[in-house]
Amino acid sequence: MVKKLFKEISQILILLFLLGLFWACNEPKEISSYHDNHWEDHYVNSEISGIQKDSLQHGKTYLSIYSHIYSFSMEKSQNLTAMVSLRNVSDISTIYISTAKYYNTKGELIRNYFEKPIQLNPLETVEIVIDETDEQGGSGANFIFEWAAEPKTPEPLFEAIMTSLRGSQGLSFTTQGKRIE
């Protein structure tokens, strides 16, 4: 009797596990790399902290991103998670970033991450995460950042770390931004 009861309970647990697994696989995946309110505590007030906007130096930086890479051939690819790091390398001045535009391999705009300019205090860093499930960018995705800072302030540093973990193997590499204006 106990054996029969144990067998029935085991079968029910296996069935529940399989149903849960089926449910999880069929549920639509949310792309969590874009959150509308993620930047609220960094948004710049209408007056940039008493600094005249026209007195700031302006720049534009390009950063390459890889949403996936090819392995063995173009028919087989591996998705990657990308963490984009926006860093103020100045220890005394604030940096203002007005746009963080994300483009796909074809150069089409996917999204702009900021509704309005954000500020990075001295030595502050913020991140943008492109989830492994977000395949919109492709192998040639990229960002264009527009920024401003007080004269003689070091330009901000934009870097990306792409990672993937499969079984016991890990893959990671980095890219660095290049100033284009």
In this prediction, residue 175 carries a pLDDT of 96
The model's pLDDT over 76-102, given as tens digits with 9 standing for 90+, comes to 888 899 999 999 999 999 999 999 999
> Which has the minimum average pLDDT: 8-12, 68-72, 115-119, 157-161?
8-12
The model's pLDDT over 16-67, given as tens digits with 9 standing for 90+, comes to 665 565 555 544 444 545 555 566 777 787 555 445 567 899 999 999 999 8
Rounded CA separation 129/173 (Å):
15
Paired tokens of 178? 């290049």
Rounded CA separation 121/128 (Å):
17
Rounded CA separation 91/98 (Å):
20
- Residue pair 62/178 in contact (Cβ under 8 Å)? The answer is yes
In this prediction, residue 49 carries a pLDDT of 47
In this prediction, residue 116 carries a pLDDT of 86
The pTM is what? 0.76
Domains and CATH numbers, the chain: 45-179 (2.60.40)
> What does DSSP assign to residue 154?
P
Paired tokens of 141? 């995705």
Rounded CA separation 39/56 (Å):
22
